[in-house]
């Protein structure tokens, strides 16, 4: 359905002379083609996406050659998100000052935020950069569902991070959120309630990425599996003293030695959880208890 609609819109643009050869008699040629990917997560990584467009296995490659130099079919290639392209007509029509006038000093314009998790209102909303998380979660998201309290806000999906509820006045700003350990990424905002276990949540992201790792490089393939084993043990009451340090060591190795950003940033949810919610990890290991009462082991 999505593909059919996109192709219909492209055909209409071509019929109207807005795509193809000699656009509106200007001598300028430009065309658009939609490719459907095999649908695995790592295909979103730039060099893997280029391979996928060539019909090959979507595996990342080392970055000593940038895709802007040699990308699809070894030609210089520019990769941008559709959201980025969607800003271009507004900037051309209204000028750069118009765009830069919105948002914060370094994070201009607006951002699509996809609200999910325990918010009353979920869905995709467009907000001005600089809007506080409080406005996004409480005013737009309607706050947390009945009977639960806000515990944390997670940004950036499985390779992102969580910040605690008391940082809710933070503005939507790439640098600010990055410094706090919750990079905005593509704008996926997960509202986390007080019945969520931060060890289980990390385990969930790591499990997803373990399945999605392409397996090409050892630090990501093996590191992720070992992290998952340790987190599985913690969530079933089998955590051991030293597990946190071991997780940190694996995370550091993965960040330095993995081939692409999947492996390099896969430990980020763990890092943010240990930064703000370390006591929950310690309770799982030392007391065999889940303070949130939501994973397999005994609650308070
Ligand atoms: C493992 C992995 C998965 C990614 N998946 C996506 C994705 O699904 N959508 C997306 O827009 N960018 C994704 N990215 C980021 C893209 O590679 C790229 O940097 C981005 O889309 C460029 O967008 P820009 O135009 O905003 O600079 C992913 C990156 C990695 C490392």
Which pLDDT does position 299 carry in this prediction?
A: 55
In angstroms, how far is CA 277 from the centroid of its own chain? 20
Atom 8 in ligand 1: residue holding the nearest Cα:
44
Distance CA 288, CA 291 (A): 10
Atom 7 in ligand 1: residue holding the nearest Cα:
44
Say which residue the tokens 């060539």 belong to: 54
The token pair at 44 is: 């979103």
Note whether 77 and 88 are within 8 A (CB).
no
Which pLDDT does position 277 carry in this prediction?
A: 98
| Beta strands per DSSP E along the chain | 110-117, 123-128, 150-155, 161-164, 188-193
Atom 3 in ligand 1: residue holding the nearest Cα:
44
Nearest to 192 by CA among 135, 231, 160, 148: 148
| Distance from residue 60's CA to the centre of ligand 1 (Å) | 12
Atom 11 in ligand 1: residue holding the nearest Cα:
81
Note the pLDDT tens digit of each residue in 194-219: 999 999 999 999 999 999 999 999 99
Question: What's the DSSP call for residue 188?
Answer: E
Domains in the chain with CATH codes:
2-69 (3.40.50.11540), 110-193 (3.10.20.600), 198-287 (1.20.1440.230)
Note whether 192 and 154 are within 8 A (CB).
yes
Note whether 167 and 155 are within 8 A (CB).
no
| Distance from residue 102's CA to the centre of ligand 1 (Å) | 23
* Residue 179 CB contacts under 8 Å (≥ 6 apart), including other chains: none
Question: What's the DSSP call for residue 189?
Answer: E
Bridge-partner residues for 125, per DSSP?
113
Whole-model pTM: value is 0.92
Which pLDDT does position 102 carry in this prediction?
A: 96
| Distance from residue 81's CA to the centre of ligand 1 (Å) | 7
| Distance from residue 236's CA to the centre of ligand 1 (Å) | 34
Q: Which residues of the chain have pLDDT under 50?
A: none
Helix (H) or strand (E) holding 124: strand 123-128
Ligand 1 atom closest to the CA of 43, numbered from 1: 3
Ligand 1 atom closest to the CA of 262, numbered from 1: 1
Ligand 1 atom closest to the CA of 84, numbered from 1: 25
Find the residues whose C-beta lies inside 6 A of ligand 1. Answer: 41-42, 44-46, 79-81, 84, 186, 260-262
Separation in Å, CA 292 to CA 3, 71, 118, 196, 241: 42, 47, 15, 6, 20
Which pLDDT does position 152 carry in this prediction?
A: 98
| Distance from residue 261's CA to the centre of ligand 1 (Å) | 10
| Distance from residue 41's CA to the centre of ligand 1 (Å) | 10
């Amino acid at each position: 359905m999505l593909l059919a609609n996109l192709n219909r819109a492209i055909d209409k643009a071509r019929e109207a002379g807005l795509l193809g050869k000699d656009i509106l008699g200007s001598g300028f040629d430009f065309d658009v083609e939609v490719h459907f990917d095999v649908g695995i997560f790592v295909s979103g990584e730039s060099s893997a996406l280029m391979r996928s467009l060539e019909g090959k296995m979507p595996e990342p490659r080392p970055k000593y050659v940038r895709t802007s130099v040699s990308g699809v079919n070894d030609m210089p290639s520019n990769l941008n998100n559709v959201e980025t392209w969607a800003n271009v007509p507004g900037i051309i029509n209204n000028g750069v000052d118009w765009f830069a006038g919105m948002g914060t000093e370094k994070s201009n314009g607006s951002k699509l935020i996809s609200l999910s998790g325990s918010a009353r209102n979920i869905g995709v909303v467009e907000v001005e950069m600089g809007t506080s998380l409080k406005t996004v979660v409480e005013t737009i998201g309607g706050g947390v569902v009945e009977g639960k309290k806000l515990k944390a806000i997670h940004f950036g999906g499985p390779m992102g991070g969580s910040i605690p509820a008391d940082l809710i006045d933070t503005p939507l700003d790439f640098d600010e959120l990055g410094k706090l350990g919750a990079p905005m990424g593509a704008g996926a905002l997960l509202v986390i309630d007080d019945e969520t276990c931060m060890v289980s949540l990390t385990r969930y992201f790591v499990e997803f990425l373990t399945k999605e790792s392409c397996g090409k490089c050892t630090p990501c393939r093996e590191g992720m599996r070992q992290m998952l084993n340790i987190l599985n043990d913690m969530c079933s009451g089998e955590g051991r003293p030293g597990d946190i340090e071991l997780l940190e060591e694996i995370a550091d190795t993965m960040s330095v030695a993995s081939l692409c950003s999947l492996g390099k940033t896969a430990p980020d949810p763990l890092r943010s959880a240990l930064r703000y919610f370390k006591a929950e990890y310690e309770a799982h290991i030392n007391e065999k208890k889940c303070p949130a009462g939501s994973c397999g082991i005994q609650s308070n």
